[in-house]
Structure 1
Amino acid sequence: MDKIDRRILRLLQEDSTIAVADLAKKVGLSTTPCWRRIQKLEEDGVIRKRVALLNPEKVNGRVTVFVSIRTNSHSMEWLKRFAEVIGEFPEVVEFYRMSGDIDYLLRVVVPDIAAYDAFYQKLIAKIEIRDVSSTFAMERIKYTTELPLDYMVLDKP
């Protein structure tokens, strides 16, 4: 990858619907070489997929909850089962295995507290968890899906 690939990625992160001709012009390429670079970035798994980002309030996802989970079980079997259970919940939009005092962290998006309680009840009915702690976001101050690209290792400077 080089600086042109990084510029392509930066622009696609801002707007993945940009026309290839417009993208090519912005990075100083003609359309065909630009399209080939995009295809290569997709084949290499750098670009995983292109999506539409929705406004959570417009789709009744007004409440964001960070759910910290501790477990007594640390086996691969339990983790596999837990990941399967979490995969059943569309409310869980992010799921991480953590270091430190918390074993797992979830980001859950729901319309209200009652919907979160329903989620919680279904979760604990499906799998044993030692401790669950929920923190409700009061305000989203910064949110982005754009990854920082200044740390990319370039083949050609």
Structure 2
Amino acid sequence: MNDERDRQILSLMQENAEISLAEIADRVSLSPSACSRRLARLRAEGYITGTMAILDRRKINLPTTVFVLVRTGRHAEDWIERFHRAVAGIAEIMEVHRLTGNYDYILKIVLPDIEYYDTVYKQLLRRIELYDVSAYISMETVKPAGALPTSHMR
């Protein structure tokens, strides 16, 4: 069973995955060994699925974000599997969500500039047939992705 200390540990790890075990233990009022056991359990239970560095998109020349809405006339299992493989094989596609409503999918794509969108678009169309594709350029990130709230844990 998870408790408030588990939630605090997960929140601290989301803020800075390089935080020392001693610092986590101090901040959640546990001994380092007890904290280490909790952290190991949280990893083993799948609450922590990995650790990654967050890069500055401007410094690596990917400042542009385009959201692409996709409508398809195909919903057969084989088409869905091909679509999943198609989007997984394009590095600039950061996220893909299946939707309810008028569109089937939304893609979040990061690019060096808007002209590069055509390159990604052509890669996608070579891999999979789509019925309708609409692109929207993000002018500003108002709230970037951040830490998940841990208050809903059971």
- State the TM-score, normalizing by the size of structure 1: 0.95
Aligned-partner Cα distance in 1 for 2:137–2:76: 29
Query: Which residue does the alignment assign to 1:148?
Result: 149
SS across alignment from 2:23: helix
Letter aligned with residue 70 of structure 2? I
- State the TM-score, normalizing by the size of structure 2: 0.97
After superposition, what is the alpha-carbon deviation per residue over 1:44-73, rounded to whole angstroms, capped at 9, x for unaligned? 111111111111111111100111000000
Report 1:94-113 matches (<5 A): 94-113=95-114
Letter aligned with residue 133 of structure 2? V
SS across alignment from 2:59: helix
Aligned-partner Cα distance in 1 for 2:91–2:146: 18
Letter aligned with residue 83 of structure 1? H
Query: Which residue does the alignment assign to 1:88?
Result: 89
Aligned-partner Cα distance in 2 for 1:40–1:135: 42
Query: Which residue does the alignment assign to 2:66?
Result: 65
Letter aligned with residue 25 of structure 1? D
Query: Which residue does the alignment assign to 1:3?
Result: 4
Aligned-partner Cα distance in 2 for 1:6–1:72: 43
> C-alpha root-mean-square deviation of aligned residues, in Å?
0.8
- CA shift for structure 1 position 145: 2.8
Report 1:8-157 matches (<5 A): 8-153=9-154
Q: Where do 5+ consecutive residues of structure 2 fail to align?
A: none
SS across alignment from 1:56: coil
Aligned-partner Cα distance in 2 for 1:98–1:42: 30
- CA shift for structure 1 position 144: 2.5
Identity %: 39
Q: Where do 5+ consecutive residues of structure 1 fail to align?
A: none
